[in-house]
Structure formats: C-alpha cells, structure tokens
Amino acid sequence: MKTVSPNHTQAGRFSRRHFLGGSLVALAAPQFIPASALGRNGPMAPSERITIGMFGVGNRGSSSLRAMEPLPDHQVVAIADCRRERALLAQQQVNSFYAQRLGTEAYKGCEIYNDFRDVLTRDDIDVIWGCVPDHWHGVVYSRVIESGKDLYGEKPITRWIADGIKVRDAVRKYGCVFQTGTQQRSSRHFRHLCELARNGYLGKVHTIEVGAPGGRSYPAEPPCDPPEGFDYDMWTGPAPYIPFDKKRCEWLAMYMISHYCAGFITNWGVHHLDIAGWGCPETFEKPFEVQGTGVLPADGMTDTWISWTMELRWASGLKMIYSDIGHPAESGCKFVGDEGWARADRSGIWSEPASLVDLKLKPTDTPLHASPEFDNPYTAHTADLFRSIRTRQDPVSPVEAGHAASTLGNVSDIALRLGRKVKWDPTQDQFVGDDEANAMLSRAARSPWTI
C-alpha cells in the first residue's frame, strides 16, 4: 500500500490532518464530544476526531451523511451548498444525529455556507466530502487538495480527462489522502471477484464484459427564475451559463446534459469499469483501441448516450465489451478466462465453476485491500478513508484508479462522438497521433472557475 507523504512546504501550512497521528496537539477544535457518547471509553481528545466539511448535500451528500453515522470518530462541522434549503435540511440532519448520540435535546456544531471557498479557510477541518455535480469536480477537488485537506471525491474524478490528470498529480504533490467514491471496492463480493481474476482461478483472462445502466432523454423546459435561496450562478460554476429551468439541475436530468456530465457511459459506468481495472490492471495501465456505436436523444435538453456498445482491445489480445445493460453485456463486471468465468454486480456474485464463489484464498495468493467490514458498503468505504487519514496510506480507491476508470468512460464517449476508432495511451495521458481527439480532453471553463 502506498504511503502518502504530506508536503508541508507545498501545502503552505500544517493541516489538522497531520495532528491525527498523535505527534502534535491540535490547537483549535469544534465543540467537545465525550468519547462515551461516540462508543468509546474515556474522553476523546479534539486531536483524535476527524472533522469534516460537506460540499453538496443533495442525493449523494445526504446518503454520505447517513453512511457516516455508525462510525464513532468523526464530526461534521460545516456544510456548503448553493441551495440554502438543502443546506438547512442537512444541518438539521447533522445536529439531530449528534444530539441523539450525546443524549441532549439540542446540538449546534455545524455551520452552513453558500460558497465552498469559505470552508477551505477553516483550519479546524481535516477532510472535505465532495458531492458536487460532475462539472464541479475538477475545480473543487483541486482547490481542496491545494488547501492542505484530505478529500473524499465522488466519481467520476472529473468531467474532463485533462482536469483529472491535474487532480491526480496534485494529490501526490500535496500529500493528500484521496478516496474516490467507487464504493464497490468496499464490497466483499466485488473484492472476491477481482481476487479470483488476479490470482489465476479463471486461467488467463481474455475477455471482460461490463454492463452499466443506460441513459435517458428529457424534453426541453421553458426558462424560469430559480427558487428563492438557490444560487444558480454558483451551481453553474465552470459550465456554460444557460437560463435556469426546473429540470436541468435535478436528478437525473443533470447527468444527461454534457455541460455537466458525460452521461451514464462515464458517471455510472465508472463503478464497473473500476472493478474491471481492479481485477485486471492491464485495462488501466496499457494502451488500448476503442470503437463502438451509440444512440443519442433525438431532441430535448439532454445530449448524452442513451445506449452504447463499445469494444476495447489491448495489444496482449485482451478484449473488453462495454455496453449499457443488455446490449449485450449483463449488469456488472464479468471476467472470462480460459478456465472459467466470474461476474458480480451489486446484487451478488456468480461463477463457473460455481465453487469459485465460496473459494478461500490460499496463503500463497495475493489478497486485495480490504475495507473494514460493514453491511453498508458506503459505511465501509468511509471507514476505510478514516483509517487512511490516520495511517497516511492510500485508501482502497486511490486517485490513480479513480482517474483511470473515469478515463475509460470518457474515452469511450469521445470515440462515439468522433464516430471512429481511437487509441488511448495512459502512459502519456493522451490519444496516439490524434489531434482531433486530444482537443476533446478539456473545455474552456467559465471565469473564475479554472484549475
């Protein structure tokens, strides 16, 4: 496991995260919480708590808050969301939880903000939880990293490949612990699937099949004023400014509009593409060619792929079929070798021979990084990050893997939009001899939201 070495000079200051190892005493901390109320014996020193700022508290952000609740050693102290109503609801959720845990009538230790940059100025925060829309990932994640804080970043790493390269490199430059929100790695059966592939139980893997949910279309909506308390200009951020309407900022429409997201070919597909790379590292590490076909909406406000069928090929002969579910790949990730196959999705794991599902690794096998055991993979993924913050070692979903999985989806999107085969070289972070494709690695950002 890679150890993250904090670079104090480049970060520009000592972050609270460096106190968590116990070598220094924290100088500032939010409201004291007795350890007995957090499920521990004796008082919990302020320097032991992992303090959290939440960026974005919509569907994923509120789910992340719930996933944290079983864990004893954290405290959410700040929430930033450009929708005040959502921020207030999340603040109530946080304060109610801590009041219940403390056994008090009320708790007030979580502040709300409209602008995430105000949270980054606080020295009492260790880690930022990034649950903002995809088009914000590059800007927000890079600024968090440069502020000297650790980071949980929802997938995909960034909307644009060039931004992902910058985020990936900044994590190592500034010594940031970064957990990508590909929480399937914290699920036991996905880990077992990849251990089967990596330890030779399927023989030589020659084919990978990945199936993800397809996209959908939304009809155009008439422009209108944003609701009171919604800073739409801030929500738009680096994306082109388009007049507000009632759908474009909502789940799921915003995932289907290319200004904000590449669509489910990347946004959802990254989960199973990540498992493909975990079980077969060649998919992340070696150059490949990709081509395919897809269907875009005929009209309306959305412009990302409703369905797609891609074929990716590596020089070794390895092939990946990547499609929306049923065209032709089944849901999940399937490794096919010359001695058997195994497939997993969020509902289970299957194999041929069937005995592989219950196989116990031999002492000579190589196990993969195991997150702490929780029934909820989101909680396990969070616990894994907390452990990494304390040890300064990489979590189960490090930034390089998150970027590589995101790139597989984004490269597929680019190939479809060009309507032809492209070759991607991850060792050079670019398309091979293809100026037209390389021009699609980034897009100019609206001022002042540049990386």
Query: Residue 151: what pLDDT?
Result: 98
Residue 43: pLDDT above 60?
no
Residue 185: pLDDT above 80?
yes
Query: Residue 6: what pLDDT?
Result: 61
Average pLDDT over residues 113-133: 98
Residue 4 DSSP symbol: P
DSSP 207-250: EEEEEE------------PPPTTB-HHHHHTTSPP----SSTTS
Residue 198: pLDDT above 80?
yes
Q: With respect to residue 379, please indicate whether it lies within any of the assigned structural domains.
A: no
Phi, psi of 156, rounded to the nearest 5 degrees: -65, 165
The one-letter amino acid code at 53 reads G
SS3 content of the chain, % helix, strand, coil (to 5): 35, 20, 45
Q: With respect to residue 391, please indicate whether it lies within any of the assigned structural domains.
A: no
Q: With respect to residue 161, please indicate whether it lies within any of the assigned structural domains.
A: yes
Average pLDDT, the chain: 92
Q: With respect to residue 394, please indicate whether it lies within any of the assigned structural domains.
A: no
Residue 90 DSSP symbol: H
Query: Residue 19: what pLDDT?
Result: 47
Lowest mean pLDDT across 3-17, 268-282, 382-396: 3-17
The tally of domains found in the chain comes to 2
Do residue 135 and residue 276 come from a single domain? no
Summarize pLDDT for 343-375 with one digit per residue, the tens. 999 999 999 999 999 999 999 999 999 999 999
Q: With respect to residue 330, please indicate whether it lies within any of the assigned structural domains.
A: yes
Q: Which domain holds residue 285?
A: 185-369+399-438
Average pLDDT over residues 178-193: 98
Query: Residue 1: what pLDDT?
Result: 75
Helix (H) or strand (E) holding 84, with range, is helix 84-102
Q: How far lies 74's CA from each of 4, 22, 45, 71, 88, in Å?
A: 21, 16, 12, 7, 20
Q: How far apart are CA 237 and CA 132, in angstroms?
A: 11
Contact by Cβ (8 Å): 110, 34 = no
Residue 10: pLDDT above 70?
no
Residue 4: pLDDT above 90?
no
Residue 31: pLDDT above 50?
no
Query: Residue 46: what pLDDT?
Result: 53
Residues 6+ apart with CB under 8 A from 58: 81, 83, 86, 131, 251
Q: How far lies 344's CA from each of 41, 154, 289, 318, 327, in Å?
A: 40, 22, 25, 19, 17
The token duo for 451 is: 């990386």
Do residue 69 and residue 203 come from a single domain? no
The beta strand positions in 36-142, using DSSP E, are 50-55, 74-80, 111-113, 127-130
The token duo for 135 is: 């088009």
Query: Residue 3: what pLDDT?
Result: 83
Do residue 292 and residue 425 come from a single domain? yes
Estimate to the nearest angstrom the gap between the alpha carbon of 56 and the chain centroid: 13
The Cβ-side half-sphere exposure at 158, using a 13 Å CA radius, reads 25
Q: With respect to residue 382, please indicate whether it lies within any of the assigned structural domains.
A: no
Do residue 139 and residue 103 come from a single domain? yes
Name the domain boundary from 158, 184, 210: 184
Percent of the chain with pLDDT over 90: 88
Q: With respect to residue 387, please indicate whether it lies within any of the assigned structural domains.
A: no
The Cβ-side half-sphere exposure at 189, using a 13 Å CA radius, reads 19
Q: How far lies 286's CA from each of 70, 168, 429, in Å?
A: 40, 18, 11
Q: How far apart are CA 434 and CA 450, in angstroms?
A: 25
Helix locations, 299-442, DSSP H: 377-391, 399-418, 435-438
Summarize pLDDT for 98-114 with one digit per residue, the tens. 999 989 999 999 999 99
Q: What angle do CA 395, 398, 399 make, to 5 degrees?
A: 145
CATH of the domain at 77: 3.40.50.720
Percent of the chain with pLDDT over 70: 90
Query: Residue 45: what pLDDT?
Result: 56
Residue 74: pLDDT above 70?
yes
* Number of neighbouring beta carbons within 10 Å of residue 240: 12
CATH of the domain at 337: 3.30.360.10
Q: How far apart are the first and last CA of the chain?
A: 29
Residue 32: pLDDT above 90?
no
Residue 44: pLDDT above 70?
no
Q: How far apart are CA 328 and CA 152, in angstroms?
A: 33
Query: Residue 20: what pLDDT?
Result: 54
Q: With respect to residue 131, please indicate whether it lies within any of the assigned structural domains.
A: yes
Do residue 174 and residue 195 come from a single domain? no
Helix (H) or strand (E) holding 313, with range, is strand 307-314
